[in-house]
A and B are shown apart, each in its own frame.
Chain A
Amino acid sequence: AQSVTQLGSHVSVSEGALVLLRCNYSSSVPPYLFWYVQYPNQGLQLLLKYTSAATLVKGINGFEAEFKKSETSFHLTKPSAHMRDAAEYFCAVSASGYSTLTFGKGTMLLVSP
């Protein structure tokens, strides 16, 4: 079974500051890991995914995440926040490409000018 824990239901940063959203996972098999973003009244948009290739994964909109097996973590970062990054971010895990996604509770990113 897989599970995901996202630390912090809300994260506030200033525009231009570093964004760090934390995700820890539990999986009995090598996982596939994902970050999705959800803007108000919209569905989920894939930011990036890890599928056992490079441990540092680059995604869209300047986001990246690093897979750390020893820490069972897959934290999402962006060097400089922009107002348009304000949204809810979800970390998800699956056991393989066939498997369903198990999501964390989400982290709302607030960006102030």
Chain B
Amino acid sequence: KAGVTQTPRYLIKTRGQQVTLSCSPISGHRSVSWYQQTPGQGLQFLFEYFSETQRNKGNFPGRFSGRQFSNSRSEMNVSTLELGDSALYLCASSNGQGSSTDTQYFGPGTRLTVL
């Protein structure tokens, strides 16, 4: 079974631009979560989507948004990029049913650099 895939793997943008990152979950998984990883703040939760609806949201400004499509693929968008948005953005998928066997599996991440 294919794992979680994220595209692109690397991205360079300039301040003020906007960016869209994509995540394809493991087949059959309906939940997609996004995390931001930086050296200073570590791993921080952005948001989770389940069946095309945002189910959980972290403490990030409104410039960070996301959506999920009917095939469970998800995108996150960051508008008006700031230098501090430079980070590794990780996507994780799970079946989202909340059972003890439910586990989040991570993709390789998208490395975003803002100049």
Q: Which residues of A come within 8 Å of B, CB atoms? A: 32, 34, 36, 41-46, 49, 51-53, 90, 92, 96-106
Contacts and interface: CB of A to CB of B under 8 A. Distances in A.
Interface of B: 4, 6, 33, 35, 42-43, 45, 48, 55-56, 58, 90, 92, 94, 96-109
Contact of A52 (B56, B98, B100, B101): B100
Nearest to B100: A51
Given A42-B108, A97-B97, A97-B99, A103 B43 contact: yes
A40 B65 CA distance: 27
Contacts of A43: 4, 6, 90, 106-109
Contacts of A45: 106
Contact of A100 (B56, B97, B109): B56
A98 B98 contact: yes
Nearest to A92: B43
Contact of B42 (A36, A44, A49, A105): A105
Given A42-B108, A43-B4, 5 more contacts: A46-B103, A100-B45, A100-B56, A103-B43, A104-B42
A53 B90 CA distance: 29
A43 B43 CA distance: 11
A34 B98 CA distance: 15
